[in-house]
Amino acid sequence: MKRMLLAIVILLSLQAAFAGSVTPETFLIHVRNSMTKHDARTSVLPHVVLTALQHGYKVIILFDDEGVNAIKIGRWYGGHTTPLDKAFLPEQERMALSARLGIPATNIPDNYGDLLRFLKGKGVELYANKVVMDLRKIGEDRFDHAVTPVAVETMVEIFEKAAVTVAY
């Protein structure tokens, strides 16, 4: 009995010692809708990302299907902007994100495109389905390069490794 108790104590000690070196689980956000305007999906996404980060997850946002349109750079009336760049955050949303992050609201971007790049700076990985981009004729110079296009094989690996997947 004493040996078993000693073994349990040693195992728990080893687990605690190595806990800091464990790779965090992946929280995948699969964006399948265009997210082209300020709506419930677009508003909730940054809160989900920040909450997952606060819970210690590695966060990946994968743009797929209609979602690749959110990162497409348009030629008409906006030059080098995406629909997310044109979707402005309401002041109350900036205040809520400010409170969540504990930083001044003036440090929160005023549109969802800049907010996406801000989240990337916080460690969020951004990917897009390359096959869908090709099908939608989103060429090398026509998307936000904060996002990395990936092959279907890489997408499968992302899905396989994800501990949690949320679709938008």
Spacing of C-alpha 137 from chain mean position: 23
Instruction: State the average pLDDT over residues 15-44.
Output: 77
Query: How many Cα neighbours within 13 Å face the side chain of 132?
Result: 23
pTM, two decimal places: 0.84
Domains and CATH numbers, the chain: 24-167 (3.40.1260.10)
25 pLDDT exceeds 50?
Answer: yes
- Quick: pLDDT tens for 35-59: 876 678 888 999 999 999 999 999 9
